Amino acid sequence: MACVCAERDNPYLPIPVEIAKIITEVDTKDIKTFRFAFVNPEDEARFAYTPGQFGELSIFGKGESPIGIASSPTQKGYVEFTVQKAGVVTTALHEMEEGQRMGIRGPLGNAWPIAFLEGKNVVIVGGGFAFTTLRSLLNYMIVPEHRGRFGKITVVYGARNPGLLLYKDELEAWGKRSDVDLHVTVDKGDETWKGREGFVPAVCKDVAPSAENAVCVLCGPPIMIRFTLPVFFELGFSKENIITSLEMRMKCGIGKCGRCNVGNKYVCKDGPVFSFAELDKLTPEY
Amino acid sequence: MEKRLLTKDAFAAALERLAAAKRVLGPVQDGDNVVFGPLEPGRQPALGYRNTRNAPKNALFPHTETLMRFTRTPKGVECAGQGDDPAETVVVVRPCDAQSFLLLDRVFDQPGCRDPYYVGHRERTTVVALACPQPPYAACFCTSVGGDPVPAAPAGVDVLATDLGGGGGEILAEFLTPKGEALLSFFEGQAADGQADARKAQAGEKARAGIRSQVPAREVLPILQKNFDHPFWAGLHGKCLACGTCTYICPTCHCFDISDEAKKDDGVRLRSWDSCMFPLFTKEASGHNPRSSQKERWRQRVMHKFRYIPENFDLVGCVGCGRCVLNCPVNLDIRKIVQDVAKI
């Protein structure tokens, strides 16, 4: 084997990227969005992705961390990941500066089922930090060339407090659009908060999106999922029409290292996106 | 297909000649053990062994392998090439271990998702299988998982050698593939006739009858599909030490870890064997662990081999070599576990 750096089909080889921009998303400063530009412009085409896919952020000397892609493929010239500081790699990433180089492997995994969503009303429900790949999906659907492919778009997004809401500028822009029905809620507001207060399941019940020709895309902490699911079942959504994205510890990202094996599936390769009907068939080990 | 008859001594000499010309990995005596390792020039292969203590997966999927090297540059840390090219290798293994390569192939060499490191080793490896006409270990159960101690013409084997017994100990060497035929010049012997085939068939019948362990490996699939939450799993793991021996010596276990090691400005990204038996294997950075106790981890090991791999590949994820049975420090016995599952 020649030097694998010259080979373009080695799935273990990260694509070199440069940190173009770092945005601190939340008051606690432990969630940042990293915008990466490709060192070799031709790599952008190699990294052709669909919303819902993820990448392994690769810092040589520290390791890799699987993170969902937060930008939309309609945003050209860069790719973004919103990362919470949690383990070794994400802590190292949070200490990096604009202009520094690292690597990304990907895009990995399946994606939000765009073809399945086409022609349907889409209800996006996100809680806390799990909004990242939902943001990718939303930004993909609302660009002029795609907007007509989808019906009504409803978004319910909640965080514990106003300081923990991600993508604040975009929330404002989405809120002004007539073709997106956006509901932002916080568990508890502060003196500056003029929006909704309340938990995501209660807001979903209140908004009550119709299940008619609709799909719900749902991401959030387990406790939120547990209480939101019954709301959507009650509204008439079937398990086939409620879709989520799983998180697991992953290393290779290509279904070989065995770490994210759940039932006869590998979350990195067969997922991370599953419908709740598919999750019913899996063993409950995620 | 070429078939030749050689004496046992001539066969051993052929392997030694081969070891002088190429990298040969096979059974070698190491103190009290016979291990799978390099057959160094001038060293006798341990042909009298039944099976090596460690599995030969190391030849295709090394215990530790360099995926890439990296170095610090003024612009940041960048990739600086990868590990060494895999060498041309001949492996000398038992039929169950040759079968394990087919399972590894299903994982590492999937259409559209090939592991370049594994495939590199695989393409440069010639498999010489030594059939097992001698009654093997009491722990062997290859016939329960689609294996055969004296196989006819097994897939994935390039040269098949069967000890036919007899005065000088005659070996029937069958060169099954072009890769195997490329080694013909090393194995000088007379052409084998139909009589040798008949003797091999006879040896096979005797060997198959000599395998005492019967395990309902395929039959447990529907039972495992229905009993994920059965109380059975809670009683399984009590004495397990989570040492990982069973997975490290298993020829079909393929879970691995990827880690970085750096010294000053240079470093390597390594792949090394890992084990679903270890507590940290699935532990996430958040602290959440989907398989939080040894109960879940043992269930995963059984399910992976006897349910998930059969569901995905229509093969049992076990080749019946019995190594985990022989080497578990607390005598957990996969044969008994599968037999007990069948009784659920």
- Has residue A4 got a pLDDT over 50? no
Burial A103-133 (b: 16+ CB within 10 A, else e): bbbbbbbbbbebeebeebbbbbbbbbbbbbb
Q: Give the number of other Cβ atoms within 10 Å of residue B112's Cβ.
A: 5
pLDDT more than 70, % of chain B: 99
Partner-chain contact A257 B291, CB within 8 Å:
no
Instruction: Using CB atoms, pick whichever of A11, A61, A247 lies closest to residue B70.
Output: A61
Which positions in chain B touch A104 (Cβ < 8 Å)?
Answer: none
Cα gap B81→A202, rounded to integer Å: 54
Residue written as tokens 């271990």? B97
Q: Is B334 left (phi over 0), alpha (psi -120 to 50) or beta?
A: alpha
> Could you tell me the two tokens for B248?
């490290």
Q: Give the number of other Cβ atoms within 10 Å of residue B155's Cβ.
A: 12
Tens digits of residue pLDDT in B281-318: 999 888 889 999 999 999 999 999 999 999 999 999 99
Cα gap B338→B336, rounded to integer Å: 5
Which positions in chain A touch B224 (Cβ < 8 Å)?
Answer: none
pLDDT category of residue B169 using cuts at 50, 70 and 90: confident
Tens digits of residue pLDDT in A23-62: 999 999 999 999 999 999 999 999 999 999 999 999 999 9
| Total number of residues shown for chain A | 286
- Has residue A176 got a pLDDT over 70? yes
3-state DSSP percent of chain A in helix, strand and coil, to 5: 30, 30, 40
Among A1, A36, A104, the residue to mutate for chain B (most B Cβ within 10 A) = A1
pLDDT of residue A7: 41
pLDDT of residue B267: 93
Most confident of A60-69, B34-43, B129-138: A60-69
Partner-chain contact A264 B307, CB within 8 Å:
yes
pLDDT of residue A2: 33
Q: To 10 degrees, what angle do helices B334-342 and B294-303 make?
A: 80
Instruction: Using CB atoms, pick whichever of A65, A86, A263 lies closest to residue B308.
Output: A263
User: Cβ of A115 under 8 Å from any chain B Cβ?
Assistant: no
Partner-chain contact A247 B284, CB within 8 Å:
yes
pLDDT of residue B5: 93
Tens digits of residue pLDDT in B145-167: 999 999 998 999 999 999 998 76
Q: Which of A277-286, B92-101, B154-163, B204-213 has the lowest mean pLDDT?
A: A277-286
> Could you tell me the two tokens for A282?
């899996």
Count of alpha carbons within 13 Å of B61, Cβ hemisphere only?
Answer: 28
Tens digits of residue pLDDT in A152-167: 999 999 999 999 999 9
Residues in Cβ contact with B313 at an 8 Å cutoff, skipping those fewer than 6 apart: B103, B106
By C-alpha distance, the chain B residue nearest A6 is B81
Partner-chain contact A258 B274, CB within 8 Å:
yes
Partner-chain contact A264 B86, CB within 8 Å:
no
CB-based burial of residue A39 (10 Å sphere; 0-12 exposed, 13-18 middle, 19+ buried)?
middle
Burial B98-110 (b: 16+ CB within 10 A, else e): bbbbbbbbbbbee
B335: β partners: none
Residues in Cβ contact with B95 at an 8 Å cutoff, skipping those fewer than 6 apart: B129, B130, B131, B132, B142, B147, B148, B149, B150, B151, B154, B157
- Has residue A283 got a pLDDT over 90? no
Q: A106 with A253: CB under 8 angstroms?
A: yes
Partner-chain contact B285 A87, CB within 8 Å:
yes
Q: A53 with A270: CB under 8 angstroms?
A: no
Tens digits of residue pLDDT in A90-101: 999 999 999 999
Q: A170 with A71: CB under 8 angstroms?
A: no
Which positions in chain A touch B284 (Cβ < 8 Å)?
Answer: 247-249
Rounded to two decimals, what is the model's pTM?
0.92
Cα gap B344→B303, rounded to integer Å: 15
Q: Smallest CA–CA separation between A144 and chain B, in Å?
A: 34
Cα gap B62→B42, rounded to integer Å: 25
On average, the pLDDT of chain A sits at: 93
- Has residue B135 got a pLDDT over 80? no
Query: Hey, what's the torsion of the CAs at B332, B334, B339, B341, to 10 degrees?
Result: 90
Question: Going by DSSP bridges, is the β-strand pair A273-275/A153-159 parallel, antiparallel, or unpaired?
Answer: unpaired
Which positions in chain B touch A255 (Cβ < 8 Å)?
Answer: 110, 113
A80: β partners: A35
On average, the pLDDT of chain B sits at: 92
Cα gap A42→B269, rounded to integer Å: 25
User: Cβ of A259 under 8 Å from any chain B Cβ?
Assistant: yes
| Total number of residues shown for chain B | 344
| Mean per-residue pLDDT, A176-183 | 96
Q: Smallest CA–CA separation between A67 and chain B, in Å?
A: 12
| Mean per-residue pLDDT, B123-143 | 91
pLDDT category of residue B224 using cuts at 50, 70 and 90: very high
Burial B247-279 (b: 16+ CB within 10 A, else e): bbbbbbbbbbbbbbebeeeebbbbbebbbbbbe
* CA distances for B144 relative to B95, B215, B310, B316, angstroms: 14, 6, 14, 10
Residue written as tokens 């016979």? B34
Instruction: Using CB atoms, pick whichever of B82, B276, B308 lies closest to residue A264.
Output: B308
pLDDT category of residue A1 using cuts at 50, 70 and 90: very low
Partner-chain contact A251 B75, CB within 8 Å:
no
- Has residue A8 got a pLDDT over 60? no
* CA distances for A187 relative to A157, A202, A209, angstroms: 11, 11, 21
The two counts, helices (H) then strands (E), for chain A are 10, 15
Tens digits of residue pLDDT in A186-239: 999 999 999 999 999 999 999 999 999 999 999 998 889 999 999 999 999 999
In degrees, rounded to 5, the angle at the alpha carbon of residue A268 between the alpha carbons of residues B234 and B237 is: 15
| Mean per-residue pLDDT, B204-215 | 93
Going by the DSSP 8-state scheme, the letter that residue B216 receives in this structure is -
Residue written as tokens 């770092």? A22
Q: Smallest CA–CA separation between A193 and chain B, in Å?
A: 29
pLDDT of residue A274: 96
Query: Is the N-terminal amide bond of B45 cis, ω within 30° of 0?
Result: no
Which positions in chain B touch A62 (Cβ < 8 Å)?
Answer: 260
pLDDT category of residue B241 using cuts at 50, 70 and 90: very high
pLDDT of residue B79: 83
Of A199, A194, A256, which Cα lies nearest the Cα of A231? A199
Q: What is the largest CA-CA distance in chain B?
A: 72
